[in-house]
């Protein structure tokens, strides 16, 4: 028996690590991986709450979050490739114009 709050604390730690990576990292791919880390933290709290309240729809929502994450990573990595093709860099400090 593991208390629900332990799962929530773990989820919060993961989300905080994701936010920190999003803020301090300079490589655009690593920033993208930090976003995935945040989504994983949210998924864990979804599943924990689903088990707590006996509502299976929480797990269905995790499924939807995963679908959105997959679509997001496909489009995002394509954008990264397009940015690299025009800028020749992956450093976000040097990608400071929206215009390609």
Q: Which residues of this protein are in contact with other proteins, per CB under 8 A?
A: 1-10, 12-14, 16-18, 20-21, 24-27, 29-30, 32-34, 36-37, 40, 43-44, 47-48, 50-52, 54, 56-57, 59-60, 62-64, 66-75, 77-82, 84-85, 90-91
- Tokens matching residue 2: 């593991």
* CA pair distance 89, 25, nearest whole angstrom: 14
In the complex, least distance from residue 22 CB atom to other proteins, rounded to whole angstroms: 10
Q: Which is nearer to other proteins, 81 or 98 (CB)?
A: 81
* CA pair distance 73, 81, nearest whole angstrom: 12
The enclosing H or E element of 58 equals: helix 57-87
């Amino acid at each position: 028996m593991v208390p629900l709050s332990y799962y929530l604390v773990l989820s919060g730690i993961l989300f905080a690590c994701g936010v920190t990576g999003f803020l301090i990292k300079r490589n655009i791919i690593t920033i993208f991986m930090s976003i995935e880390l945040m989504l994983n933290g949210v998924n864990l709290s979804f599943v924990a709450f689903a088990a707590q309240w006996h509502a299976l729809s929480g797990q269905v929502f995790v499924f939807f979050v995963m679908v959105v994450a997959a679509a997001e990573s496909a489009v995002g990595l394509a954008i990264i490739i397009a940015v690299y093709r025009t800028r020749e860099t992956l450093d976000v400090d040097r990608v400071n114009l929206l215009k390609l």
